[in-house]
Structure 1
């Protein structure tokens, strides 16, 4: 048995009189955080023999001129080890081990720095214990590296920007750029999460957690081989504008980034470390570092799937009415959802009077109460889309009114900022929605930072370069490669509303953007597999009921698949190449895989199954899927839990399997 100091934390004083040094180890002893206190506070991270982050300074500058971390004077330190299990019925796992070692350093000046070391990575944050309110002028995040590592980064989608200010207004959606540290564009901001490719195949994924009442962190190329943090200053003046007058446009900002209570914890800076790529989709750090649920009773929160009309442009055929934004169309969607066992139908943009930013002004073609009652009689709930400005200006009244009618939730869109004022909106929206029994799906949103644990009624987030992009993107946009990159990076932060499920599928050569009859890149089985690979508690069916009804086998597979899970883990994969994942709900397993544009043979080791015999329903790419991407085959067969499953994935392809014990 390990000695107490080895089990909990290894701390030592450096022999130099100029600095104090402390070392915090992960429970398995493989990760080490070294903290040096001299004229400033610096930390470094190592994984066994691999340097993850070189010594890097951290500090916070207050508007009164004081700097936490400059000439720090340590008052006391405290260590603890935590080993517990967190339960959740609304996550990718029913039980999440929460095992870490912690070091809290308390300094004169009423501030602390807290470090945690998990086997999955490390994190730190500042904490304040002032009596009065404080204004944070800036926070120093200055990550140093000793090598010119390759990186996989999402830039803010703004070509040739002249200022950071113009990049603070963005939807947090972009494909990834593969660049070395030295090749980063100093004029461009990168949003989180992003990945640094270390030596020995190891990866560092950088993000943040517990972002509450504070601006989100961007990274930018620093001096030499470093990444520096950038924060949007607090908005001084905001005017209504943007898309259909539903956005808040910042016209002037303050000279500080946050105004805060004097006693508070600041966001966690999170550094997930993997020894192989498949560990990244399994990482739970963001969820673990979030605040516990503030919603006492979560039994009313019902994840599920949604029949969605916006992507397919309300494009029905074989019906005897004019399809569009009207009650007959939505009743048809409700009938489809009811027959398939799909829990919800969404009314996306268009049901409220345009450019009024007033959610109580409904167009004459829509009778929401009638649709709610129609859906209720068929066991289908209604979710309403809403623009940010319309929600924020009348939140309490809107949520109460529609909750009383029986609406189940809102898809809130076009926030497109993550300054402190906007982050506050997220929490206010989540809290008010919970008060009225409403779920929230945030679109035009920054990455998840654990809000879905604190307010489990926040059931999903966008912040992903999702399938909607293929309504307008040219063929130069490579969604297939994005699909096998994003699960290792963006999905580490939390769930995503990618909105998969396309029944029109295209090879690389045949893809083209069409707004009213859009298609996916890659094969039909790729779309099915994405319901297994992508974490999404509120999961859209993006295509038209008319198309789904012509594809009953695929539709049944999608309609049956759960959206929250008892167990989840990646079986195999490599960033940008391919991924294979397994998920379990009750006694049923789902296994899915995606490849890039390379044809690939995948062998799935099924040793995770209990002993016995199983029935497998397998959807795999057809032999001609490299020419006709919709080509697939469905096989049903038996196998034992100690066997392996071999599948051929065509270029842009995938596979999806449902496995039940016989």
Structure 2
């Protein structure tokens, strides 16, 4: 593995304690600058092209021993380095990442460091303890102040709870509220990433990375000013079993502190991404780059791929001689479908374990897991099991060992719905234990990714997205089409999404209805195809029934052939809430996917990234009647013009998907 590291030590200063100190740091391309002010408190100012884009409030941590990080601190020394290297990426949107940044480390006499990093695309900072003793964190101060009353894309916590404490329990999935900062709901938390829209097309995205043994960061605006404050769930004091089918742990009281921290703890990175083009937001690597590198030496056993999934289509089989549902016969039919279409996995979602027992060892009598695993092996199809959080957490080691020996390849773990320190610790234990037994993990009902998928590459996907499942029980009142062209610029900055696309029943804005047994998507058929390219998803579901895919074999063939991890990704164009076009390369083949909002749109594409040679394309685009009949589409094959220019029309709520390949030389 080739790894290029260019490390220059620029300065190393021993600085006596003084009343005030200002230090600066520039990004590698010189366009971003952070100025750090150290007085009784520590604050920073971030500028882009000499324009201030962000000011901080005092950044600090208050500890249980009466000490603080960031308040009346005494600077001991500072060090600045620049790093330019290439790092490997596993099961990601590209296989190599250029990692170039400048770093300023401030070491203080109060047993901590404060580290700032400036990339060309943004800034990050973190606290690091240098103490030799464990300690408690009572509070963290972080506020992000903006120059004007800008508008923001706000993913509020979706809950009926009115108190801040009640909002800590949530599924981290919601659409975006487009609102000025001052008009934000003072009583509501929002989860990150969150994007603020500045002047002249600039945007700032607030996020976090390398969240380990510490609560996740919420954002809110309790003052009505033009600032966002960080908020964190305190450590649980008492917990009871409850929630969905007794599979959750409900916090009934919390401690007066955030975290129990070990000596030498590295706290999460606080990130401010700065973009002058929306398409750059949709193709940003900062969260992955800032995460701890892989702890796994051998990842050869991790196999991303597609999954035939039964829950969304309600085990929807017809023309069979058995009652479809949670039984061995139904899952054999799904295995047959997966084998026919070269789909790697079938998932057994909720229902295979006896309800209300919260045990992964009580399998319903209608299911013979050993028989299903063996049957799948004969068809080259493997099994993944859904697991409720409490059942999985309680018997973590035993469940992983047992089902790994049985031949199961992974777990979809659901209904955590918290990100306090105790729950964040569970995610790392689950990932590590699963890896020990060569099991993949797909986290559902959980907080957004913060880089755990780099640290443990067997964490193959995350939910924390307002996915297609919402279409089973909501109608036009939920605008999924607009969400689909907003989420890639915001939530997907954090990492992959298990959105679960692939609907073959498609509806217009006026015809969509929430129907549990025969659900449909909003928007066109080609939109569903394109989402397999636009949405990053290393373990990718086919949500609809085998019956519907058999009726639409042409689309099924296209979906089943699309890779789920990539060598290279380019976002060609896009505007938040409007449209997006993404190109992804695997080997010698390129796939393009584009989505629009409810506005019909013509996109002009520049395919110069293809380079030299003659190329042909297989194009799936909205049919001429797709504005009325959303399933209408047209497939055509064409040669890519030598000037590499291509224009394609999309219907309302539409999209297109293209496969591009080099023509064979005679």
TM over 0.5: yes
Tell me which residue corresponds to 1:198: 198
Q: Is the 8 A contact 1:79 1:102 kept in 2?
A: yes
Instruction: Measure how far apart 1:9 and its partner are.
Output: 7.0
Q: Is the 8 A contact 1:9 1:101 kept in 2?
A: no
The root-mean-square deviation of aligned C-alpha atoms, in Å, is: 1.6
Alignment of 1:228-239 (within 5 A): 228-239=229-240
SS of 2:336's equivalent in the other structure is helix
1:266–1:597: structure 2 CA closer, same or farther, 3 Å change rule?
A: same
Tell me which residue corresponds to 2:620: 619
Q: In 1, distance between residues paired with 2:98 and 2:10?
A: 19
Residues 40-83 of structure 1, C-alpha deviation per residue, up to 9 Å, x if partnerless? 10011111133211243100001122221111100011111111
Q: In 2, distance between residues paired with 1:588 and 1:579?
A: 20
Tell me which residue corresponds to 2:360: 359
- Asked if residue 558 in structure 1 is aligned to residue 585 in structure 2, the reply is no
Instruction: Measure how far apart 1:273 and its partner are.
Output: 1.0
Q: In 1, distance between residues paired with 2:61 and 2:10?
A: 26
Instruction: Measure how far apart 1:12 and its partner are.
Output: 11
Instruction: Measure how far apart 1:320 and its partner are.
Output: 2.0
Tell me which residue corresponds to 1:535: 536
Tell me which residue corresponds to 2:134: 133
Q: How many equivalent residue pairs?
A: 655
Q: Is the 8 A contact 2:61 2:68 kept in 1?
A: yes
Q: In 2, distance between residues paired with 1:613 and 1:356?
A: 60
Tell me which residue corresponds to 1:4: none
Q: In 1, distance between residues paired with 2:487 and 2:162?
A: 28
Residues 163-208 of structure 1, C-alpha deviation per residue, up to 9 Å, x if partnerless? 1111000000100000111001110000011100011101111110
Alignment of 1:141-540 (within 5 A): 141-159=142-160, 161-223=161-223, 224-540=225-541
Q: Is the 8 A contact 1:13 1:22 kept in 2?
A: no
Q: Is the 8 A contact 2:152 2:197 kept in 1?
A: yes
Q: Is the 8 A contact 1:609 1:642 kept in 2?
A: no
Q: In 2, distance between residues paired with 1:10 and 1:293?
A: 30
Residues 509-565 of structure 1, C-alpha deviation per residue, up to 9 Å, x if partnerless? 000100010000000000000000000000000000000000011000000000000
Q: In 1, distance between residues paired with 2:209 and 2:642?
A: 38
Residues 110-167 of structure 1, C-alpha deviation per residue, up to 9 Å, x if partnerless? 01100000011110000001111100001001111121111001000024x4311110
Q: In 1, distance between residues paired with 2:266 and 2:25?
A: 20
Q: In 1, distance between residues paired with 2:643 and 2:61?
A: 55
Q: In 1, distance between residues paired with 2:274 and 2:614?
A: 37
Q: Is the 8 A contact 1:12 1:22 kept in 2?
A: no
Q: Is the 8 A contact 1:449 1:494 kept in 2?
A: yes
Q: Is the 8 A contact 2:90 2:457 kept in 1?
A: no
Instruction: Measure how far apart 1:13 and its partner are.
Output: 13
Q: In 2, distance between residues paired with 1:639 and 1:508?
A: 33
Alignment of 1:117-128 (within 5 A): 117-128=118-129
Unaligned runs of 5+ in 2: 1-7
Tell me which residue corresponds to 2:69: 68
Residues 269-295 of structure 1, C-alpha deviation per residue, up to 9 Å, x if partnerless? 011111110001110000000000011
TM-score (norm 1): 0.97
Q: In 2, distance between residues paired with 1:321 and 1:380?
A: 22
1:8–1:222: structure 2 CA closer, same or farther, 3 Å change rule?
A: farther
Q: In 2, distance between residues paired with 1:222 and 1:169?
A: 19
Q: Is the 8 A contact 2:14 2:76 kept in 1?
A: no
Instruction: Measure how far apart 1:586 and its partner are.
Output: 0.2
Instruction: Measure how far apart 1:401 and its partner are.
Output: 0.3
Q: In 1, distance between residues paired with 2:133 and 2:37?
A: 29
Q: Is the 8 A contact 2:13 2:77 kept in 1?
A: no
Q: In 1, distance between residues paired with 2:13 and 2:518?
A: 65
SS of 1:264's equivalent in the other structure is coil
Q: Is the 8 A contact 2:506 2:525 kept in 1?
A: yes
Instruction: Measure how far apart 1:636 and its partner are.
Output: 0.8
Q: In 2, distance between residues paired with 1:162 and 1:408?
A: 41
Q: Is the 8 A contact 1:207 1:269 kept in 2?
A: yes
1:82–1:552: structure 2 CA closer, same or farther, 3 Å change rule?
A: same
Q: In 1, distance between residues paired with 2:165 and 2:373?
A: 42
Q: In 2, distance between residues paired with 1:499 and 1:167?
A: 26
Q: Is the 8 A contact 1:607 1:641 kept in 2?
A: no
SS of 2:284's equivalent in the other structure is coil
Q: In 1, distance between residues paired with 2:659 and 2:390?
A: 42
SS of 2:658's equivalent in the other structure is strand
Residues 366-410 of structure 1, C-alpha deviation per residue, up to 9 Å, x if partnerless? 000100010011100100000000001101001100000110000
Residues 468-487 of structure 1, C-alpha deviation per residue, up to 9 Å, x if partnerless? 00100131110000000000
- The more displaced of 646-655 and 55-64 is 55-64
Residues 566-624 of structure 1, C-alpha deviation per residue, up to 9 Å, x if partnerless? 00010000000000010000000001100000000011111000212112000000000
Q: In 2, distance between residues paired with 1:89 and 1:264?
A: 26
Q: Is the 8 A contact 2:12 2:79 kept in 1?
A: no
Q: In 2, distance between residues paired with 1:32 and 1:294?
A: 33
Q: Is the 8 A contact 1:90 1:303 kept in 2?
A: yes
Q: In 1, distance between residues paired with 2:129 and 2:613?
A: 56
Q: In 1, distance between residues paired with 2:177 and 2:10?
A: 38
Q: In 2, distance between residues paired with 1:659 and 1:162?
A: 51
Instruction: Measure how far apart 1:266 and its partner are.
Output: 0.3
Alignment of 1:565-604 (within 5 A): 565-604=566-605
Unaligned runs of 5+ in 1: 1-6
Tell me which residue corresponds to 1:3: none
Q: In 1, distance between residues paired with 2:219 and 2:339?
A: 46
Q: In 1, distance between residues paired with 2:532 and 2:194?
A: 23
TM-score (norm 2): 0.97
Q: In 1, distance between residues paired with 2:13 and 2:603?
A: 48
1:281–1:641: structure 2 CA closer, same or farther, 3 Å change rule?
A: farther
1:329–1:33: structure 2 CA closer, same or farther, 3 Å change rule?
A: same
